[in-house]
Structure 1
């Protein structure tokens, strides 16, 4: 049955607010939650709120799409319904779920929410590194057991860390880690000397060459054809014995089975993982119980108020779009991210 269309009320598949007939038509893919603070946008556009099952119908005649459900890949399946679409905005920094060939080759402009998560993820990475170096997980477990077991912990000052991914999030991580005395090197598409955040940037083609020198490796690169699976068996085998791996980028950057093998054979001392090839992480994954592994549910950037901030970023771009001004955070659809220095 076709969805009912009712002004500002929930329907079978989507909701709309009806204003002037000359107003732009905006589709908002909601996911499990309705985006907050949409009032100013609703005042100037015909907004169709939908979930995945209503996306095809909602897209017909729509000018713009706000992917508030940023993990959804449903757009590809209903692309033929996007008969008037000119702009897609993703409420995330990563846009890999929508970089299918038809969108890449179209004239549709793609923007993301770059800048929202830089600081929060940098703080989270610092927390993960401290947790690994100071063995906090073991301390908490011993406390639960009521055991008094004195141990020594490691210093992070002076430790060498490779940040793989030199976009804004990687740069925020580099600044945070340098502030606590870590020796940071960046890795991006091109080499660079005297970088203000990383000091030195190595080219990603030389990943295996530089891994043996690093105490910590932080993966935060965007997911592209070039970066998919870059942390494979050869990469983990090249890492310094006793090194630790942190992934806050994309789960598909790593070969999970190769990581598990490196952890089980003792080559790596530990890992802190916030993203996974399959999410949620399956119940039978060995990562849940491997010693020295911290697992978190893709939350490194999700600070209190992040949903409001995502809508604010979109609202600013929406106003720019309506008034013909340049949009912020325009993604290069061939590269798969917003180009910036050193990426």
Structure 2
């Protein structure tokens, strides 16, 4: 933040001091991207012109007051693309090669031969065609998987996905895929898009991966689908309630891989988030167009997907 401090008065605050810090402020950097403090302090934003959040998702700050205002909203799009793509490839390999079971058997000192699966030629649907989805598609395709996308607009000539399906017709084409990867932003259109109907449409051998937002999924329906065998497994990095409650059934399900909202968080990520803001701050000071400008009506930075 040193470069920012040289060009502005910077006030650092926790959530309980946000209202006081907002008075007279021109810009707000929401470094704690999980914080829900901004709506409650919004009454004090008497001269705010720009809000930047240290995440790709903007749902924690996309409340009515901000949407209706003329305050510009930017995000940290681009920071997590490759690391999340690597996470997705990792869980696909973990399912195919049964790594979790191998680790369990190792701890029990048990030698139990098994057969595993190939990933080459398996079909993957990436739901969400923004930068994270595109990076994921490129990496999975390089590993030999057959990748398609789902987005706002159907097309057959996308450079990263090849075929992109209309996400509004999700259940019509879900039966064709071995892996379904959710990377979509959380909007009114995508909330609860993976519920009982979607899971029932998937192959009983399919695996579901969520690295987008927890609220994309009706969690109870996912648990039921896993228990009933409607789908074969799930890898989940995000949840509708975080931290996941200690008594939640997902913790003990053998066909589930869990991680605590860390799929994009590689060594140095916190510094990179600040660098993104600092670079945008210089653009803002100099009157240049801001990068990663969010369309507040859509809830994300517009792209071709």
Tell me which interval the TM-score lies in, with the shorter structure as reference length: over 0.9
Structure 1 unaligned regions, length at least 5? 1-37
Q: Does 2:31 align with 1:68?
A: yes
1:172 alignment partner in structure 2: 135
1:267 alignment partner in structure 2: 230
Moved more, 160-169 or 70-79: 70-79
2:155 alignment partner in structure 1: 192
1:311 alignment partner in structure 2: 274
Give per-residue Cα distances to partners, 1:99-119, cap 9 Å, x unaligned. 101100100000000000000
**Mapped partners of 2:55, 2:224: distance in 1:** 31
1:17 alignment partner in structure 2: none
**Mapped partners of 1:198, 1:104: distance in 2:** 32
1:3 alignment partner in structure 2: none
| Alignment match of 1:84 (pick from 20, 41, 47) | 47
2:243 alignment partner in structure 1: 280
| Alignment match of 1:293 (pick from 240, 244, 256) | 256
Count of aligned pairs? 305
Give per-residue Cα distances to partners, 1:169-207, cap 9 Å, x unaligned. 000000000001101110001101111000000001110
2:107 alignment partner in structure 1: 144
Structure 2 unaligned regions, length at least 5? none
- Normalising by structure 2, we get a TM-score of 0.99
| Alignment match of 1:235 (pick from 193, 198, 210) | 198
- Give the superposition deviation at 1:269: 1.0
1:302 alignment partner in structure 2: 265
- Normalising by structure 1, we get a TM-score of 0.88
Q: Does 2:282 align with 1:341?
A: no
**Mapped partners of 1:280, 1:131: distance in 2:** 23
**Mapped partners of 2:254, 2:172: distance in 1:** 27
Secondary structure in structure 2 of the residue aligned to 1:335? coil
Secondary structure in structure 1 of the residue aligned to 2:180? strand
Cα RMSD over matched residues?
A: 0.5
Q: Which has the higher contact order (CA 8 A, sep 6+)?
A: 2
- Give the superposition deviation at 1:43: 1.2
Secondary structure in structure 1 of the residue aligned to 2:157? strand
- Give the superposition deviation at 1:267: 1.7
Q: Does 2:77 align with 1:111?
A: no
| Alignment match of 1:57 (pick from 2, 17, 20) | 20
Give 1 or 2 for the bigger CA radius of gyration: 1
**Mapped partners of 2:7, 2:41: distance in 1:** 26
- Give the superposition deviation at 1:291: 1.4
Secondary structure in structure 2 of the residue aligned to 1:122? helix
* Higher helix fraction (1 or 2): 2
Secondary structure in structure 2 of the residue aligned to 1:104? helix
- Give the superposition deviation at 1:273: 0.3
Secondary structure in structure 2 of the residue aligned to 1:211? helix
Displacement over 2 Å in runs of 4+ = none
| Alignment match of 2:292 (pick from 329, 340, 343) | 329
**Mapped partners of 1:69, 1:275: distance in 2:** 16
**Mapped partners of 1:282, 1:268: distance in 2:** 23
1:205 alignment partner in structure 2: 168
Secondary structure in structure 2 of the residue aligned to 1:85? coil
